[in-house]
Amino acid sequence: MTTYKLFRSIDGEVNVVIRNSKDSIPFDPDNTDYQAYLKWVSEGNTPEQETQ
Amino acid sequence: MTMTLDGTNGLTFNDTSLQGAAASPYVLKNRIINGAMVINQRGFSGTPTDGAYTLDRWYADMGVASKFTVSQNAGSVTPPTGFVNYLGVTSSSAYSIGATDIFTITQRIEGYNISDFAWGTASAKTVTLSFQVYSSLTGTFGGTLRNNGNSRCYPFTYSIPVANTWTTISVTIAGDTSGTWLSTNGNGVAVTFGLGVGSTYSGTAGAWSSNLYFSATGATSVVGTNGATFYITGVQLEIGSTATPFERRLYGQELLNCQRYYYKQIGSTGYPFFSTGYVNSATRMFGIFNFSQMMRATPTLETTGTVSNYVILSSAASPTVTALSIDGQTTNFSAFLIIDASAGGMTAGQGSIFRGNNTSSAFIAYAAEL
């Protein structure tokens, strides 16, 4: 099962999400991994809260 | 050297190859990337998960897990003349496909690269899909071309009359005058080869449809026969109604084409260097890596998932990495890496290097696939 955890960048913004504790996905609408993450959220799932 | 020019064949060279139409130039005509199946940055060989990329630019639909494997040059047959690689699919079982099952190999072509097709307009151009295929099975096989919204699909069929022999296939497709076809950095058109597609997603060949199809009705199911093989190479999609000779590209050119979508850093030793940067604190390094070209989108950073595969080098310490991510300031031309190390001992302001930690499995990859 895919897991997601939000990541806070050094500018203080939460604009990256970590997938399966190994891949970092930027919040870019053109990134298909980000699109998959948004679909996962739209299905009622909630990511782990951010670190940093 | 003899060349002839006439109104029927266009330009004919003395090796009988044709420049069939002025609309299809001899170079930069093929919209497929890695059609010769040469580039395999992932080193992929095995059973793909649903949606996983295999050889560069080619991903698998695996509607039910573990029904086929993909390897470059699977089975080690002799590639067709002029090629050294092919994408090889091998069925892992004798699976009876259900109505909604989908097993395919697909390449999505970026919209920028098909904008001159003028699809979705009255000026839509005819295209020709050509490839070389080899299978342990004979019969009618299928595939489709689809738009980004899956609202325009063109199922096609082709025949493999002799088993275990390379067959040259050419499919000419009248351009679609309807629908929405992206001419951006999104998915312009998906080219799919069916390996077993259920009836729900199989349509009548030879006509555009607004239904979602991944193959043509009646197509042979590769996954239906245990051990069946399906090998393909020389895939070309070009404007025009005639298949012209496969467009050769230098290795470096094709690698660069692939790296717009996936860029992998991996070394032959246990210490590949991934990034230079500076020490921000006793436990943190910031690294910068500039891509070889603008990637299609801001990429996902892919790692091994084992942070101890990585290490930071600075003047006074070489701490093992404990966390690794891109920062949100990463762009499609440059990655900003945040690399943490619990052992500390680094001095803020010093230069540093991020590299593998004595393991040949260490890699960093950036993915901006369609």
A26/B296 touch (CB, cutoff 8 Å), yes or no: no
pLDDT at B18: 63
Q: Answer for the pair B257, B31: CB distance below 8 angstroms, yes or no.
A: no
From the CA of B314, how many Å to the nearest CA of chain A? 21
Query: Closest residue of A to B305, CA-based?
Result: A22
pLDDT at B30: 98
Q: Answer for the pair B89, B194: CB distance below 8 angstroms, yes or no.
A: no
Output B160 or B316, whichever has higher pLDDT: B160
pLDDT at B316: 76
Mean pLDDT throughout B98-118?
98
pLDDT band at B32 (very low <50, low <70, confident <90, very high): very high
Query: What are the tokens at B110?
Result: 């970026």
Q: Answer for the pair B223, B183: CB distance below 8 angstroms, yes or no.
A: no
Mean pLDDT throughout B36-61?
98
pLDDT at B9: 66
Whether the pLDDT of residue B22 is over 90: the answer is no
φ/ψ (deg, to 5) at A6: -70, 150
From the CA of B220, how many Å to the nearest CA of chain A? 31
Query: Closest residue of A to B365, CA-based?
Result: A23
pTM tops 0.80, yes or no: yes
Whether the pLDDT of residue B135 is over 60: the answer is yes
Per-residue pLDDT of B329-367, as tens digits, reads 999 999 999 999 987 789 999 999 999 999 988 999 999
pLDDT band at B20 (very low <50, low <70, confident <90, very high): low
Per-residue pLDDT of B246-303, as tens digits, reads 999 999 999 999 999 999 999 778 889 999 999 999 999 999 999 999 999 999 999 9
Q: Which amino acid is at B172?
A: T
Question: What is the distance between the alpha carbons of residues B183 and B148, in angstroms, rounded to a whole number?
Answer: 10
Mean pLDDT throughout B130-151?
98
pLDDT at B25: 61
What does pLDDT average to over chain B?
Answer: 94
CB contacts of B298 in chain A (<8 Å) are 26, 28, 30-31
Q: What percent of chain B has pLDDT over 90?
A: 87
Strand B187-197 to B139-146 pairing: antiparallel
CB contacts of B299 in chain A (<8 Å) are 26, 31
Whether the pLDDT of residue B16 is over 80: the answer is no
Mean pLDDT throughout B228-234?
98
B368/A31 touch (CB, cutoff 8 Å), yes or no: yes
A16/B370 touch (CB, cutoff 8 Å), yes or no: no
Query: What are the tokens at B111?
Result: 């919209």
